Structure 1
Amino acid sequence: MKIALLGTGFGQAHAAVYAARGDVEVVMFGRDAQKTAKVAGQFGFASSTDTDAAFEDASFDLVDVCLPIPLHAPYVLRALEADKHVLVELPLAGSLDDAQRVVDAAARSDKHVFVDMFERFIPANQALFDAVRDGVHGRLEQLTLWNLTAHLWPGASLGLKVLPLEAMHSDMDIITRTLGLPRETSVTTVARDEDSGAVDATFRFDGAAARSSVSSLLPKAWGARGGYTATFEHGVLDASSTMGFDGKPTGTVTRYTADGTHELDLPPADQYTAMIGHVMDVLRGEADNRIAPDSVLDALRLTLDLDEKVNGAR
């Protein structure tokens, strides 16, 4: 499998996974030749500034788009037109119209489109999805999600302008997958400066409520921490995770019921490794696509609504 990896920023998270695999050949593409060569060299990859080659070179099987959000939908569409499979960072697009264009193009194509909904591969989240699907604790009545982080990515803004689309989209996916779309959304924000802030959003459903809190106001010593509390009719699932400077998270999920307290035995998994592993499984015909573009529309709709409440119409 030959992969054109577009982007030297967040693309490094994907690059680290590819570098650990023995079944892919990767060329990293970027605008700055010196920077691109330096980053690509850290992973043992070739580099290029000729982005057109990612689409025009017939030897590339998959285009991996890790570029700014406005380029997501256009580059996915270009990849499909070039008869390539494509993996795109979340969110799929900056508007529902662009997202729908991708969905329609993917439906017409025999190529796969994958959206990096990495949170679907986190074992703690899978435990929540399974509990809702199987109804083992009755109906989900209240869901609280939280993510509090320091600035662990040099140069990256974590201010109000970017938090909804780039930091809360995964929570919106969890909410819509477990409760659907809400009847009402309300938002409270705090801004320390352009690059640091917090968003607290609450969502009303028929017979249920949800909340998502994200903050980048923490000191570096804090690292990144997050989790959820899911309250069902007959039990609670409580998850927490911590990520330090090594970038390797640890986490637990505890179940509380009338029978007592039980810590779930979950398999260890890195979400990006699992996501890219799933992409490869699908391309080999060994799995069905769990992160296709049509599966993310509700989450994107809620994310864009949240973004408008935080930042106004763009």
Structure 2
Amino acid sequence: MKIALLGTGFGQAHAAVYASRGDAEVVMFGRDPEKTAKTAGQFGFASSTDIDAAFTDPSFDLVDICLPIPLHAPYVLRALEADKHVLVELPLADNLQDAQEVAGAAQRSGKHVFVDMFERFIPANQALFDAVTEGTYGRLEQLTLWNKTAPLWPGASLGLKTLPLEAMHSDMDIITRTLGQPTDATVTTVARDEDTAAIEAAFTFDGATARSSMSSLMPMAWGVRGGYTATFEHGVLDATSTMGFDGKPTGTVTAYTQDGPRELDLPTADQYTAMIDHVLAVLHGQDENQIGPDTVLAALRLTLDIEQRVNGTH
């Protein structure tokens, strides 16, 4: 599998996974020749600043797009026009019209489009999805999600302008996958400055409620911490996790029922490795695409609603 990896920033998270495999040949593309060559060299990859080659070179099977959000949809469409499979960082687009256009183009193309909904591959979240699907504890009545982070990424803004699309989209995916679309929403915010802020979003459903709390107000010593509490008719799932600079979370999920508390035995998994493993398995004909663009539209619709309430956009 030959892969054109676009972007030297977050693209490094994908590069690390490809480098650990023996079945991926990668060329990393960036704007700055020196920076791109240095970054690609860390993983043993070739580098290029000729981004057109990612689409015109017939030897590339997959285009992996780790570029700024406004470029996501246009570059996915360009890759499909070039008859390439595509993996794109979330969110799929910064507006619903472009996302729907990509979903339609993907369906017509016969090529796979994957959106990096990495949170679906976190074992704690899979435990929640399974409990809802299988009705393990009855109906889900209340879901609280929280993520609080320090400014661990130099130069990256986590203020009100970026938090909805950059940080809350994964929570919106969890909410829509477990409860659907809400009937009502309330959003409150606080901003320390342009790059640090917090958003609280509360949602009402038919017979259920959900809340997402996202904050970048924490000191460096805090790192990244998050989790959820899912209250069902006949039990509770409570998950907590911490994440360091390596991007690999550790955590636990505890089930509380009338029989008492029980920590769930979950597999150890790095979400980015699991996501890319899934992508390559699909391309090798070993799995069905679980992160196609049609599967992310509900979450994007809710994310964009929060974005509009916070920043008055879209």
Give the equivalent residue in structure 2 for 1:141.
Answer: 141
In structure 1, C-alpha distance between the alignment counterparts of 2:191 and 2:150, rounded to whole Å: 14
| 2:93 paired residue number | 93
> Distance in 1 between the 2:242 and 2:104 partners?
39
Aligned residue identity for 1:290: Q
Aligned twin of 2:3: 3
TM-score (norm 1): 0.99
2:132, 2:6 → 1: CA distance? 36
User: Quick one: which amino acid aligns to residue 149 of structure 1?
Assistant: T
How far apart, in 2, do the equivalents of 1:213 and 1:150 lie?
Answer: 14
User: What CA distance in whole angstroms lies between the structure 1 residues aligned with 2:54 and 2:287?
Assistant: 26
Task: Report the TM-score when normalising by structure 2.
Answer: 0.99
Partner of 2:313: 313
Total equivalences in the alignment: 314
Secondary structure at 1:185 match in 2: strand
Matching of residue 105 in structure 1 with residue 80 in structure 2: no
Matches within 5 A, 1:67-216: 67-216=67-216
1:276 and 1:111 map into 2 onto residues whose CA distance is 17
1 CA distance for matches of 2:86 and 2:278?
13
**Equivalent pairs: percent with the same residue?**
80
CA distance in 1: counterparts of 2:170 and 2:245, whole angstroms: 22
The one-letter code matched in structure 2 to 1:276 is: I
Give distance in 1, aligned partners of 2:245 and 2:278.
26
Which residue identity is paired with 1:87? Answer: L
- The residue identity in structure 1 corresponding to 2:125 is N
**Residues 41 and 161 of structure 1: is their aligned pair in 2 closer, same or farther, counting only changes over 3 Å?**
same
Tell me the CA shift for residue 313 of structure 1. Answer: 1.8
Q: Within 5 A, what are the aligned runs for 1:270-285? A: 270-285=270-285
Q: Distance in 2 between matches of 1:199 and 1:152?
A: 18
User: Which residue in 2 is equivalent to 1:299?
Assistant: 299
1:261 is aligned to 261
Separation (CA, whole Å) in 2 of partners of 1:237 and 1:131 = 9
User: Deviation at 1:244?
Assistant: 2.3
Query: Match of 2:247, as an amino acid?
Result: G
Structure 1 runs, 4 residues or longer, greater than 4 Å off = none
Q: How far did 1:246 drift?
A: 4.0
SS in 1 for 2:199: strand
Distance 2:40 2:95 in 1: 31
Shift of 1:247: 3.3
Q: 1: CA distance between counterparts of 2:238 and 2:96?
A: 33
1:160-191 CA-partner distances (Å, limit 9, x unpaired): 10000010000000000000000011111011
Q: Matches of 1:98 and 1:294 in 2, distance apart?
A: 12
- C-alpha RMSD of matched pairs (Å): 0.7
